[in-house]
Structure 1
Amino acid sequence: MVRTRFLLLASLLALGACATPSPPVEVTRFHLGQVNERGTVAIEPEPGARRGPEFDYYANAVASELGRLGFAQVDGVGQSLYVAVVDVRTAARERVGGSPVSVGIGGSTGGWHSGVGGGISFGLGGNRGGLWVGAELSVQLKRRSDQTVVWEGRARGEAPERESAALAGRLANALFRDFPGESGRTISVP
């Protein structure tokens, strides 16, 4: 009986720890019409942008989404139909949140029945406090031949620091969902 309660309690703790919901991603896109022609694309950083592991997370997520849409990634300067210019800006902040655990103790005395009881409850949303990472992913899809921007978009979101690598995929997925998307409108993607 005690072991069963312990396993149930441990399961609830694990569920609460991994179920931290992230706020929706805010997405804005611009284009002049359908991007009908699919072809090869090279992923490049915004001029002056820093390269490193963080940029690579986002560049790989963008390449994955473009691949899903029918754009084949190529490496090498001057060898693609399109260039996807990627810019990433991130910042970390402390987010204030309450503890998902609450403890209650109660008791009763008098009469024939006396007793003391206690309880612990766990919020399934997890602790929304702690260090969070906010990111903005911007992508311009240009025709290489004349440098015309045929599509561009921006996605903003945040996640707990422990999920910062997954945030890249989440932003890229939201940015390219329903590609090319409605031009000039900001939407919220869960």
Structure 2
Amino acid sequence: MKPARFPSLAAALAAPILLGACTTASAPGPVQVTRFVAGDAALGGTTLFVESAPRSEADSLQLAPYKAAVAEQLSRLGYTEQGRSGARRVAQVSVERFVRTDTGRRSPVSVGVGGGTGSYGSGVGVGVGINLGGGARDEVTTRMAVTLRDVASGDVLWEGRAEFDAPEGSEAAGAAGNAAIIADALFRDFPGVTGETILVETN
């Protein structure tokens, strides 16, 4: 099977990213989700290992809750976690987080390292933004990308990216709550319609 070739993610997400910039800070916004599915992909019902995406910080404490949330969602979808050597599928996870002020300006300081994943061809950083402005309406933007690959062939079977904003200091902006919300949205109605961008309301 040839590796899956998907449309440009930048084009697919151009409109929703603009929408996200206008989200109010009063409550966690809906999660913007885009997914791509290989036409002949065999999904679910096999062994799985969840790892950091290539060029991500493999032992990052910031990434750990997101990998755990992805593993939980995939286990509900019929995957069984195993060690890397015994898994038939691998899920590669990368996360970017930064603070955006009410004027749309991003915090200029971030912690973490860059990472790339899947066939989108765009890097995704792993880190946590540090707010230097201190405004009450500042928001934490989280972007997570997950690539599901066949271990034997290396083929991409499924890719997804999710993004949402939460008020800084809220439960939804904290690592545990943040990871649970974005992973739940990303895998809602899995595998999804390829190339379609949807808004998933948070609970």
Shorter-normalised TM range: 0.5 to 0.7
- Which 10-residue stretch deviates more, 52-61 or 32-41? 32-41
Of 21, 27, 35, the residue aligned with 1:21 is 27
2:196 aligned partner: 185
Alignment of 1:4-19 (within 5 A): none
TM-score (norm 2): 0.64
2:36 aligned partner: 30
| Residue 168 (structure 1) shift | 1.2
Q: Hey, what's the Cα distance between the residues in 2 that align with 1:56 and 1:23?
A: 23
1:161 aligned partner: 168
Q: Does 2:66 match 1:55?
A: no
1:42 aligned partner: 49
Q: Hey, what's the Cα distance between the residues in 2 that align with 1:39 and 1:91?
A: 35
Q: Does 2:143 match 1:136?
A: yes
Q: Hey, what's the Cα distance between the residues in 2 that align with 1:133 and 1:53?
A: 18
What SS is found at the alignment partner of 2:56?
coil
Aligned length: 140
Runs (5+) with no aligned partner, structure 1: 1-19, 97-127
1:83 aligned partner: 90
Q: Does 2:82 match 1:71?
A: no
RMSD (Å), alpha carbons: 2.0
| Residue 48 (structure 1) shift | 1.4
Q: Hey, what's the Cα distance between the residues in 2 that align with 1:93 and 1:140?
A: 26
The amino acid that maps onto 2:52 is: P
| Residue 23 (structure 1) shift | 0.9
| Residue 167 (structure 1) shift | 1.5
- Which 10-residue stretch deviates more, 41-50 or 139-148? 41-50
1:110 aligned partner: none
Q: Hey, what's the Cα distance between the residues in 1 that align with 2:42 and 2:164?
A: 25
What SS is found at the alignment partner of 2:182?
helix
Conservation of the 8 A alpha-carbon contact between 1:26 and 1:189: yes
1:12 aligned partner: none
* Cα deviation digits, residues 78-114 of structure 1 (max 9, x gap): 2101000111111112336xxxxxxxxxxxxxxxxxx
Query: Computing the radius of gyration over CA atoms, which structure comes out larger, 1 or 2?
Result: 1
The amino acid that maps onto 1:71 is: Y
| Residue 160 (structure 1) shift | 1.9
What SS is found at the alignment partner of 1:78?
helix
The amino acid that maps onto 1:41 is: L
Of 143, 149, 153, the residue aligned with 1:146 is 153
More helix by proportion, 1 or 2? 1
Conservation of the 8 A alpha-carbon contact between 2:50 and 2:92: yes
More strand by proportion, 1 or 2? 1
| Residue 54 (structure 1) shift | 1.6
Q: Hey, what's the Cα distance between the residues in 2 that align with 1:176 and 1:35?
A: 16
Q: Does 2:182 match 1:176?
A: no
The amino acid that maps onto 1:57 is: P
Closer, same or farther in 2 for the Cα pair 1:146/1:152, shift >3 Å? same
Q: Hey, what's the Cα distance between the residues in 2 that align with 1:69 and 1:36?
A: 9
* Cα deviation digits, residues 7-31 of structure 1 (max 9, x gap): xxxxxxxxxxxxx521110000001
Alignment of 1:111-122 (within 5 A): none
